[in-house]
Structure 1
C-alpha cells in the first residue's frame, strides 16, 4: 500500500507504529522529534518504559510526552505501550532489541562472525514471503527499473543493477555518469519502479528526490536501516536491514543478501523471457570472447 506522508488520521497499530512515526515525523516539534528518535532507534524497548522514563531518555518534559502521544493519535500513553508490546509479540524484527556493544574479548574473529551473522539473520528474518512476491512482481513488470543510491549505498545499488541486467532490459542507475537525478528520472511514471538504497549516512537531497518521485506516482522500493527517518513515508515498500556493528564501519552482509534474494526471486518470475534474455547475453559473450 502506498504511504501518504500527509495522512495522520489513523492511529498506529502493531504493524504501522513505525510507519506512522515516519509519516508524521516532519510535523513533530524539535522536542517531539527527540521522543520519536528514541522510539525509532529501539521500538522494542518502548513497552518497557513508563512515560517518565521515556521523557528522561529523550531529555524532554512529561508534558512533551503527552503532546507526542496526542499527535500520534493515541488516546493514552498506555495505548502506545500496548501497541509496541503487541508488535514485539507479533515478531517484527524492528521490535526485537539486542544491545550492540564491544566486549573487548581476544577472540576477534569469532565475535566478528557473531555480529555479521546477527545482522544477516535479522535482515533475512524480516522478509515476509507474500511481500517479497509483491515486490518482485513489480520489479519484473516495471517498464523501467531504476537503481538509486549515494555514497556507500551507491555501490550496493550498482551491485543490484548488475544482477537484474542479466535477465531484463530497461535497467539504469540514477544518476548516470554526467547526469543529474532529474535528467535520469524525468521520464519515469507509475509504470516504472525505483529501487532506492538509503543507508546511513543519508544525503539530505535523497529525501526530496524521493518525495518528488512519490508525488509523481512513481513506485519506490526502499531498502534502508533502522536509523531512517521520513523516507519510508515516500516508499510503497520498505525493507529494513540492520547495519550497525560493534566494529568500525557498517555491516552490509544482510543488505547484500536481501538484494540477491530480490534478484533471484525476480529471475524466477521472469520465466522463459528472462532465461532467453540471459542466454542471449551469454551467447554474445562467447562470440566476442569477453571472458578468459
Structure 2
C-alpha cells in the first residue's frame, strides 16, 4: 500500500545511516533564502555573501564574515539568532558542511528555481511540489489583507479594469481576466508593448490599471504604470519585490513570495512556482469582488454552469 505523506512532511529530509534512519531539519542555505524577504539590509548582505561565496574561510569567525559582508559583527550575531542558532560556531559548522556538499554537485545541473532536478519521477515531482508549497506559505505570511480588500473595492467600483503584463506574468494576467470577465466586470488585458502604450495613454478617471510583473522591472509595464499615473489613474501592482520600480510607483501592491534564486541567477524566464502563488492571490481577489454582489454572481455562476454543458461533446 502506498504510504501517504503530508505537504509539510515534504520539507523533511530522510537520511539513511547504517541500520537506522533519522530526520534532519531543513538545510541552512534554503532556509536563508526563504527568510531573505524578512531580513533587514545588513542581514541581506550577509545572506548574499553566504549564498554566493565559494570560500569556506568566510565563516571561520563572526568578525571575518562581518568584514567580508560589509556589516557589523552585531549584525552577524543577529543574523545567526534569526537562523535559529545560539552560537556562531554551531552555525559555522552547518554552513561549511553544506558548502562542501554544494561544491560536489555537477555544474550546469538542471534545476527548478535553484533546486536540483535529479532522480526519478517521485524525486523530481517532490522537488517541484516542495518549492510550490513553500512559495504559497511564504506568500500567506506576507499577504496584506487590508490591501487585498482595498484592491477588491477598487475593482468593483471601476468604470473599466485594464490589466497589463509581459512574459510569464501573462499567466497571472490571463487568470485575473478570465475570472472577472465571467461575472460581468468590464476588464481588458494587454501584453504587447505598443498596445500597452496605447491603452495607458487613453485611460480615464474611474478606470483602474493592474500591472503584473514578477520582479517589477519589465520596462513596458513600469512605463505603462507611470503613464497612467500621470493621467490620475489608480495603479495596482502584483509583484514579488518590495523595492522594485513597479512597487515604488504603484498605489497598492500585492506581493507574492520573493523568488531569491531566479532573481540572483538572472533566470527571469524559467518556470517559476511564484506564478502559482500569484494565481492564488488572483483567486482571493476574485472571491472578494464576487462577494460584493453575491446574489447576482451566484446566479451568473449557475447560468454559466448550465449553459457550458452545450459546449461539451457527448
Same fold by TM-score greater than 0.5: yes
Match of 1:250 in 2: 272
Which of 165, 169, 174 is matched with 1:149 structurally? 165
- Contact 2:143–2:255 (Cα < 8 Å) also in 1: no
Count of aligned pairs between the two proteins? 213
Give the alignment's TM-score, normalised by structure 1.
Answer: 0.60
Which of 197, 200, 205 is matched with 1:190 structurally? 205
Q: Mapping of 1:75-90 within 5 angstroms?
A: none
Answering whether residue 296 of structure 2 is matched by residue 291 of structure 1, we say: no
Q: CA deviation at 1:175?
A: 5.2
Q: Mapping of 1:61-100 within 5 angstroms?
A: none
Please identify which structure carries the higher strand content: 2
> What root-mean-square deviation, in Å, do the aligned CA atoms of Structure 1 and Structure 2 show?
3.9
Query: 2:195 & 2:293 partners in 1: Cα distance?
Result: 31
SS of the residue 1:242 aligns to: coil
Query: 1:102 & 1:284 partners in 2: Cα distance?
Result: 44
Relative contact order, CA 8 A, sep 6+: which one is greater?
1
SS of the residue 1:264 aligns to: helix
Unaligned runs of 5+ in 2: 1-35, 51-70, 83-112, 263-269
Query: 2:163 & 2:44 partners in 1: Cα distance?
Result: 40
Change (3 A) 1:239 1:285: same
Structure having the higher Rg: 2
SS of the residue 2:143 aligns to: coil
Answering whether residue 69 of structure 2 is matched by residue 46 of structure 1, we say: no
Change (3 A) 1:108 1:184: same
Give the alignment's TM-score, normalised by structure 2.
Answer: 0.56
Answering whether residue 282 of structure 2 is matched by residue 259 of structure 1, we say: yes
Unaligned runs of 5+ in 1: 1-40, 58-76, 89-99
Query: 1:158 & 1:170 partners in 2: Cα distance?
Result: 14
Match of 2:231 in 1: 216
Change (3 A) 1:43 1:218: same
Answering whether residue 126 of structure 2 is matched by residue 110 of structure 1, we say: yes
Change (3 A) 1:49 1:201: closer
